[in-house]
Structure 1
C-alpha cells in the first residue's frame, strides 16, 4: 500500500468530528435571501416526496403565514400538536419538543430556525430545540433567511438599515449536512409581495417601502449566493481531504482580532470570522487587559467584553486574555507568538488631539507590525442587547466607620496643631492635614478620603484662619492653598483606589493559579475518588468563593453527590450516595449530564437554576457534573475561564481514577460506586464539545 504524503494525512480532529456527525441526525437547511422566496414551500415539497418514499415524517412546527399555496402542502403530513404556554395572561404556542422526542420520527420539520421561544420553554431559542432533536438521532429539515446568520448580521444592517435581533450562531449552519439555497429573481419576489402571497396587503406595502426594496433584495440575494458558494467550496475541500484527493491546498494563514469593551467589537469579530473563512485560516480573538488604566473598567464594559468573547467562541475562534502594560507591544507579541499573518482592528473614533496627546495604536501597529497585515474595519454603534437574566444591583449600606475614621484623625491633627502653632507656621499645619487624607485613601478608598479632605479644610479654616471660630475666609490668600489641597486629595484618593483594585485582582489571579497547581500536585498519586472529589469541591469553592458540588453517576446513571463545600459556612459535606436535596436543581443537573452541555445559571437553558452545571467531559464522554453556585446574573470571563480550568482538571482526575480501577477489583460498595462509560485512550487534539 503506498504511503500517504504528510500533507494528505487526514486530520484526526476532523475524522472524530465526522464520526460524531454520523451518529447524530442529519440537518438540512433551506436558506433564502428574504421572506417569501419559498423556503417553507420547498421544505414541505421535499417532505412530501420523502413521505411517498416511506420515510416517517412529522411536522414539529410550521409557519404558513396564511399563504394558501403553503397550506395546501400540509395535506397528508402528520403534525405534532403544539405546546400551550401561559405568558403574561396570554396563551401562546410553541413546538412540543418532548412530544417530538417521544414520537421519534425519522424526519422532523421545524420551521424558522432563528425563532426565539416564549419564556417558559425548555430552551430560549429554536435552534437549541433542533440541536436536541439531532442529538436524539432525528433528521431535521428547517428554514432560515440570510440576515439571521450571526456573522453576516452587521453586513445586513449596512445593506438594509434594519437591525436583525434574532440571529443563529454560525456553527449551527456549518454543522448542517445539506444547505439548499431557495432563490427567485428580485422582481418575482416583489410581484409576490404585491399579489399578497407573502404578507397581508397593509404589511406588504410597508415592507416594499422599507426592507423589500429592489436594491436590498439584490444585495441580499448576492450575499446568499456567496454564502452558499463558500459552503460548497468548504464541502468540496473536506471531501477531497477525507478521500485523499490531492488539490491546491491554501497556504496556512492565521487571523487575529483585537477585542475590547467597545460597542464596535462585535462587528470586528464578525469581520475577522469572514476574513478567516475567505483565507481558510484559523483565527483567534484576543483581549488585552491593560495594567495601567486611567479609569477602572465599569460593569457595562466588562459585560461587553464577556459577550464579545462568547461571540468569538461561538464563531469558532480561539480566545485569549493577556495582561500587559503596553497595548501595542502586547498585541504584536501575541501575534508573533501565534504566527498570526493578519490583525483586524477597529477604525479609531477619537479626536486627532487625543492621538497627539496619547499616541495612536493604529500608527504604532502599522510601523511595528513588520510582515503582519493590518486590516482596519469601520464600525457603527449597535444597540445594547437586553440581558437574558435581569437582576438589580445590590443595595450597599454606607460604610459609616470608614467615614468616621478620617474625622477622628482630623481631631488628633487639630489638637496637635493647636499645641505647636507657636513653633509651626499655618502652612506647615495645613500640610499636616494631608496625613489623614492619605491614610483614609489607603485604608478605606477615595470617597472617605474626599470626605476627610473637606473636613480638614473646614476645620483648619474654622480654628486657624482669622477670624477664628467662623467659617468665613478672612484671608483670601489661603484660597489657592485650599484649592491645591483639595486637588492633591482628589488625585491621591483616585490613584490609591486604582492601586488597591489592581492589587486585589493580582491577589485573585495568584490565588487561583496557586490553588489549581497545588490541587493538581496533591492528587497526582491519589487513587481514592472520594478523597479527590471532596478535596476538589473544597479547593474549588474556596477559590471561586461560591458553593461547589461534584456529582457522579451510579450504576443506574443517577447522579449522586461525591463532594460538596460551602466556603461561607466553612462546611464540607461529601454526602456519598445522596442526591441533591432540591428536586429542581437535581433535574437541571441530570439534564446537563444526559445532554452533555452546560445548563442552569448563566446559560440559555434552564437559567432559573441557582447553580451552573458543567459536564466533566473527556473525548466526548460525560463522566459527571461540576456544579457551582452563581449569585450574580452572569459569570465574568475570568470566572468562566477559572471554572473551565477546574472542570478540565476534575475530568482528567476522574478519568485517571477510572482507568486505574479497571484492571483491579475495588472495595467500594456497589450501591455507592460511580459508574462511567469506558474511558478512551488519550490523544492530543481529540476533544469533546466545547462548554458553552
Structure 2
C-alpha cells in the first residue's frame, strides 16, 4: 500500500516469509534476472547468501556492487554502499534483509533507512524480510517461538510497500530443507530443530505471515474503494464507509507496557484507526529521575510510539478514570484499551474497578481489557 504520491519515488517490492530458508532471496534474484532479461538496468546492492550454494548460483550474471567497508574499534564490517548505489543509479536495485542493523559508523542505523534514500532517488528496490521482524509482532513472536527478535522494522514501512509477495512453504518442507543442510551449517541444525524450527512454531509463524499479507490486501481495498465517485455515489453503490474509529490505550511507564502498545497498535490497524497512548501520571509525577527505570521505560515508550506512528500523551491527574474519560471525549475516542489489573487487596476491593468506571464515565466508548498471555502461562505453570 504505497500512500506516497510522488511519481519520482522508486517502487518497493518486498518478499515476505515466515522464517529463514523459505526462498525469499532466491525469489528476489529470479525476479531481478527476469527484469534484466526484459531490458532493465539491474544491480545487486547487497546480497546475503549465508553460504547457501543455490542462492549464490541464482546471483550469477547479475551485476553486484562492492560493499562498503568500515572499521570500528579494530573490527572491519562490510555493508550496503548507499553512495555507490546512488552514483550508479540503476533502474532496479536488489537489497537483501530489510531489517538488518547497519555496521557502526554508517550514516543510518538500519538498512530500511538506506532503502528509503534509494527509493527517494527514483530507484526501484526489491527486498526481503521475515514476518517476525515487524515491530508490532515482537511480543507475539516471542510468545510463539521463545525467541526475542532484536532487529525490527516499523510496520508502516511494509504498509507503504507497493507490492508484498508472500514466499510460502509448509513447515514440514522447511524442516526437510533444514535437515538437508540447505539453510544452516551441519553444526547448527540440531539446535535449530530443537528451538526456532519446531513444526508447531513454524505453523504459527506461517499463519501469522498469511494473516499479515491478508491484512495488507484488505487495507489496500479499503484505501482504494472509497476514492471512486462522490460519497453519495459510494453509499448508493454499497461501498463500505469508514466509521471514524480512534483508539486510546492506557499505559504506565514500565517495561511490560510495550506489550500493550503493540497489541493496541495491531487492533488499530485492523480498524484502520489512529492510536493514542495515555499515561495518567500523579500530580508532579512527570518529573522523573533520568536514571530511574520509570524514565527509561517512558523513553522506550516514546521511541516505540514514534516507530509505530502512535501519539503518546502524558496528563497529570488525581484520578485515572476521570482523566482518561476527559481525554477520550476531547479526542473522539471510540475504544479504550487497558491491561489486566492486579488483584485488588484490602479496602481497594471495595472500590469500583477501573474498567467499570471507564464504562460509566465514557458512555458510548467501548472498553477492552488486553490479556497478558505471559502472565496467563505463568499461572498455568504454577497450578
- Give me the TM-score of the superposition, normalised by structure 1: 0.50
Tell me how far 1:320 sits from its aligned partner: 2.6
Q: Tell me, in whole angstroms, the C-alpha distance in 2 between the residues paired with 1:56 and 1:232.
A: 30
Do structure 1's residue 319 and structure 2's residue 305 form an aligned pair?
no
Please state how far the C-alpha of 1:87 moved relative to its aligned partner. Answer: 2.3
Matched with 1:249 is 241
Q: 1:284 aligns with which of 276, 279, 282?
A: 276
8 Å CA contact 2:15–2:166 kept in 1: the answer is yes
Match of 2:303 among 307, 310, 319: 310
Alignment root-mean-square deviation, CA: 2.3
CA distance in 2: counterparts of 1:291 and 1:357, whole angstroms = 24
**How far 1:19 sits from its partner (Å)?**
2.0
* 8 Å Cα contact 1:264/1:346 also seen in 2: no
Residue of 165, 173, 195 corresponding to 2:180: 195
Residue number in structure 2 paired with 1:347:
340
Question: Retained in 1: the 8 A contact 2:143–2:374?
Answer: no
* Partner residue in 1 for 2:13: 28
What are the residue-to-residue correspondences of 1:187-226 with 2, within 5 Å?
187-226=172-211
- TM-superposed CA distance for 1:219, in Å, is 0.6
Task: Note if contact 2:70-2:103 (Cα within 8 Å) is conserved in structure 1.
Answer: yes
Among residues 94, 116, 127, which one is paired with 1:131 in the alignment? 116
Q: Distance in 1 between matches of 2:307 and 2:101?
A: 18
* Aligned residue among 328, 331, 334 for 2:327: 334
Cα separation, 2, equivalents of 1:211 and 1:95? 28
Task: Map 1:618-657 onto structure 2 (within 5 A).
Answer: none
Partner of residue 643, structure 1: none
Pair 1:258-2:258 in alignment? no
In structure 2, the CA distance between the partners of 1:72 and 1:297, relative to structure 1 (3 Å rule), is same
> Which residue of 32, 36, 48 corresponds with 1:63?
48
- Using the TM superposition, give the Cα deviation of residue 210 of structure 1 relative to its aligned residue in structure 2, in angstroms: 0.4
Checking the alignment, whether the CA contact within 8 Å between 1:30 and 1:179 is kept in structure 2 is yes
Of residues 83, 102, 120, the one that matches 1:117 is 102
Q: Equivalent residue of 1:19, what SS?
A: coil
Instruction: Render the CA deviation track for 1:625-677: whole Å, top value 9, x for unaligned.
Output: xxxxxxxxxxxxxxxxxxxxxxxxxxxxxxxxxxxxxxxxxxxxxxxxxxxxx
Deviation at 1:38, TM superposition (A): 0.3
Equivalent residue for 1:297, pick from 266, 288, 298: 288
Shift of 1:274: 1.0
For structure 1, list consecutive stretches of 5 or more residues without a partner in the other structure: 1-13, 383-692
Aligned length: 366
Cα distance in 2 between the residues matched to 1:358 and 1:223: 40
Provide Cα deviations, 1:522-551, integer angstroms capped at 9, x if missing partner. Answer: xxxxxxxxxxxxxxxxxxxxxxxxxxxxxx
In structure 1, the residue corresponding to 2:64 is in which secondary structure? coil
1:138, distance to aligned residue in structure 2 (A): 1.1
Question: Out of 209, 215, 227, which is 1:230 matched to?
Answer: 215
Query: What is the deviation of 1:232?
Result: 0.7
Matches within 5 A, 1:320-469: 320-349=313-342, 352-353=345-346, 355-356=348-349, 360-379=353-372
Instruction: State the Cα distance separating 1:57 from its structure 2 match.
Output: 0.8
Cα distance, 1:117 vs. partner?
1.0
- Structure 1 runs (4+) deviating above 6 angstroms are none
Gaps in structure 2 of 5+ consecutive residues: 376-383
Partners of 2:227 and 2:57 in 1: CA distance = 42
After TM superposition, the score normalised by the length of structure 2 is 0.89
Distance across 2 between alignment mates of 1:80 and 1:68? 20
Shift of residue 108 of structure 1?
A: 0.8
Whole-Å separation in 1 of the counterparts to 2:173 and 2:363: 51
Distance 1:161 1:348, change over 3 A: same
Mapped contact 1:255–1:276 kept (Cα < 8 A)? yes
1:176 and 2:161 matched: yes
Bigger Rg over Cα: 1
Distance of 2:301 and 2:347 partners within structure 1: 26
CA contact (8 A) 1:106 1:139 kept: yes
Structure number with the bigger relative contact order (C-alpha 8 A, sep ≥ 6) is 2
Question: How does 1:262-273 map onto structure 2 within 5 Å?
Answer: 262-273=254-265
Cα deviation code 1:570-612 (max 9, x no counterpart): xxxxxxxxxxxxxxxxxxxxxxxxxxxxxxxxxxxxxxxxxxx
1:300-338 per-position Cα deviation (integer Å, ceiling 9, x unaligned): 312322321332232222333323232221011111222
